[in-house]
Structure 1
Amino acid sequence: MPWLQLKIETSAEMAEQIGGMFTANGAQAVTFVDAKDTPMYEPKPGEVMLWPDTQVIGLFDASDDMPAIIKRLGNAKVLGKDFKYRLEPLEDKDWEREWMDNFHPMQFGKRLWICPSWRDVPDPNAVNVMLDPGLAFGTGTHPTTSLCLRWLDGVDVEGKTVVDFGCGSGILAIAALKLGAKNVIGIDIDPQALQASMDNAQRNNVADRLSVFLPDNQPTLEADIVMANILSGPLLELRSVITNYCKQDGLLVLSGILAEQVPRIETAYQQHFNLEPTAIDDEWARVSGQRIR
């Protein structure tokens, strides 16, 4: 189906109101994007953060009467009759197919490969994680996940109990199991993430060693390895929870951290962990260490 994109640049204060006007006029979807290149990180729970200069994009069916829609928008006091806009066609593609075609097997460290479930593995003798991300985050393409996978490939997980805090698609949990972990406990706030983790675990024949929980139901235990690839805000707020999962001499790896946020993370965790040198990939960082006796 052919689509049209209607784009209007506005302020953060007006963006949601304009988005509502798009929806009221038949937009199938409304997106807010940065109009100027302004960094914006980590909204608080329930908070919607928009850039000072925000572009509102409405997706309309190409058969919609766009002149009439634009006229109705202009009649509103919010925009006025002479408001500036861009109306562009959106190429008609099978976007899911497009994404699948561009998701290739990737190697992390010496042994570990992440392979899309719809592609052949490049090295049958490697440790291959077959992944279908579904609706959950985590394919290995983002630097934060890549940093954790490379770290995981370089440590001894054989026979260990592992916690994957913020498990997403289950990519780290399943990688740990395929590398020899005894069992993994996955925790996430999103039920769809837990379902994606279990689906991917079944695809990799390790579901019998993976248990998943929402935070309200998370178990009490001490693990040999704790992984938390989330964001710096939750890493700080949940420091005691994450720390208490890690037994004495256990290993910890944290990511989802911007390089500029590393000092705060290190200050928060160095009381209980001997921290290793921070690893940096692009603007993202990985903090890791061993629990102090």
Structure 2
Amino acid sequence: MTWQQLELQLPALHLPQAEALLELLGAASVTLLGAGPDEILEPDPGTAPVWTVTRIRALFAADADLDRVTRVLEESFGTGISVVAETLDDSAWTDALSAEPREQRIGNRLLITSSRDSHHNDGCVAVRLNRGLGFGTGEHATTRLCLEWLDAELTPGAKVLDYGCGSGILAITALKLGARQAWAVDIEPQALEATAANSTLNVVSDNLWIGSPERLPEIEADVILANILARPLIQLAPRFATMLSDSGTAVLSGVLVEQREEVREAYAAHFLELDERVLDGWVCLVARHLRY
């Protein structure tokens, strides 16, 4: 079977509208891609983001009018976009699909994907991430440990703080698994932008607060997810204790096996350790808040 492929490059802020428009125009598959091999996806700490452009690949049936699709896209988004169309035979179409980022199954319910064309009828919860934004997608052990905890342990209706949010994957996953409210915090402006974009893709923006640590209001979370590093985790122990509800849970990741005792000591005054999970030399400590 012959297919037509359209590749669109445009400002990242237009991404949600572009995806929706491609679907309305008859795309059989829409996949998010990076903006090119030469683009710097993760700028230096404290600098403004440079990943202002993203790419989308869409597949259309052989008889689709791609000239019309291109005209509509240009009319909708102006001249600051680039559209390239080509025809694919069977082998090229198969190669194009196999080159797309793979999906990840995590735990019993979670599916992490970058593709809009993810239709599963097995009750999974799909979390979509734009890989073109240059942040984590759940493949690293530290993130995976947190995702596994969310899949197995999160109580519906919980209020969740994602401290060091990066792509926003943990806060977004929590909301899609039934959390009532989430706060996503990071010191890097590009992380906050990525989280905002990914929350739009997953239609959870209404229940997600996004900002820097100094802007975070006084909160009482049921769960704190902190996938950062051992040193900041140790420094944040007293502050985390003031942010958790009675018997709230802290999920602490980004800790190397040889660092776990130091982190445990920092949390011993305010938390009771409940669990330890280890993957590829990384430890995730799960602790319950103690209030006296």
* TM-score interval (norm. to shorter): 0.5 to 0.7
* Cross-structure match for 1:158: 156
| Counterpart AA for 2:232 | P
Report how far residue 137 of structure 1 moved: 2.5
| Counterpart AA for 1:238 | L
Report how far residue 225 of structure 1 moved: 0.6
Give yes or no for contact 1:105–1:121 (8 Å, CA) kept in 2.
no
- Percent identity, aligned pairs only, is 41
* Cross-structure match for 2:276: 278
* Cross-structure match for 1:212: 210
Give yes or no for contact 1:254–1:286 (8 Å, CA) kept in 2.
yes
* Cross-structure match for 1:70: none
| Counterpart AA for 1:229 | N
Report how far residue 161 of structure 1 moved: 0.9
* Cross-structure match for 1:114: 112
* Cross-structure match for 1:201: 199
User: Among 283, 287, 290, which residue is 2:288 paired with?
Assistant: 290
The CA distance in 1 between the partners of 2:214 and 2:221, in whole Å, is 19
Q: How does 1:140-159 map to 2 (within 5 A)?
A: 140-159=138-157
The CA distance in 2 between the partners of 1:137 and 1:121, in whole Å, is 24
SS of residue matched to 2:160: strand
The CA distance in 1 between the partners of 2:105 and 2:131, in whole Å, is 17
Give yes or no for contact 2:154–2:174 (8 Å, CA) kept in 1.
no
* Cross-structure match for 1:51: none
SS of residue matched to 1:199: helix
| Counterpart AA for 1:125 | G
User: Against the structure 1 CA distance between its residues 265 and 157, is the aligned structure 2 distance closer, same or farther, given a 3 Å change threshold?
Assistant: same
Moved over 6 A (4+): none
* Cross-structure match for 1:223: 221
TM-score of the two chains, using structure 2 as the length reference: 0.64
Give yes or no for contact 2:186–2:212 (8 Å, CA) kept in 1.
yes
User: Against the structure 1 CA distance between its residues 102 and 239, is the aligned structure 2 distance closer, same or farther, given a 3 Å change threshold?
Assistant: farther
Give yes or no for contact 2:222–2:249 (8 Å, CA) kept in 1.
yes
Q: Which moved more, 1:184-193 or 1:265-274?
A: 265-274
SS of residue matched to 2:153: coil
Report how far residue 231 of structure 1 moved: 0.5
User: Against the structure 1 CA distance between its residues 250 and 282, is the aligned structure 2 distance closer, same or farther, given a 3 Å change threshold?
Assistant: same
| Counterpart AA for 1:185 | W
**Based on CA coordinates, which of the two structures has the bigger radius of gyration?**
1
SS of residue matched to 1:278: strand
User: Against the structure 1 CA distance between its residues 139 and 121, is the aligned structure 2 distance closer, same or farther, given a 3 Å change threshold?
Assistant: farther
Report how far residue 156 of structure 1 moved: 3.0
Note the residue ranges of structure 1 that are not aligned, 5 or more in a row: 1-27, 30-44, 47-97
The CA distance in 2 between the partners of 1:287 and 1:228, in whole Å, is 10
Q: Does 1:174 align with 2:165?
A: no
SS of residue matched to 1:153: helix
User: Against the structure 1 CA distance between its residues 124 and 199, is the aligned structure 2 distance closer, same or farther, given a 3 Å change threshold?
Assistant: farther
| Counterpart AA for 1:280 | V
The CA distance in 2 between the partners of 1:223 and 1:120, in whole Å, is 32
Give yes or no for contact 2:125–2:176 (8 Å, CA) kept in 1.
yes
Note the residue ranges of structure 2 that are not aligned, 5 or more in a row: 1-37, 40-44, 47-95
The alignment yields a C-alpha RMSD, in angstroms, of: 2.5
* Cross-structure match for 2:128: 130
| Counterpart AA for 1:117 | S
The CA distance in 1 between the partners of 2:145 and 2:166, in whole Å, is 16
User: Against the structure 1 CA distance between its residues 121 and 166, is the aligned structure 2 distance closer, same or farther, given a 3 Å change threshold?
Assistant: farther
| Counterpart AA for 2:216 | Q
| Counterpart AA for 2:161 | V
TM-score of the two chains, using structure 1 as the length reference: 0.63
| Counterpart AA for 1:270 | A
Report how far residue 216 of structure 1 moved: 1.9
SS of residue matched to 1:238: helix
Aligned residues: 201
Q: How does 1:177-196 map to 2 (within 5 A)?
A: 177-196=175-194
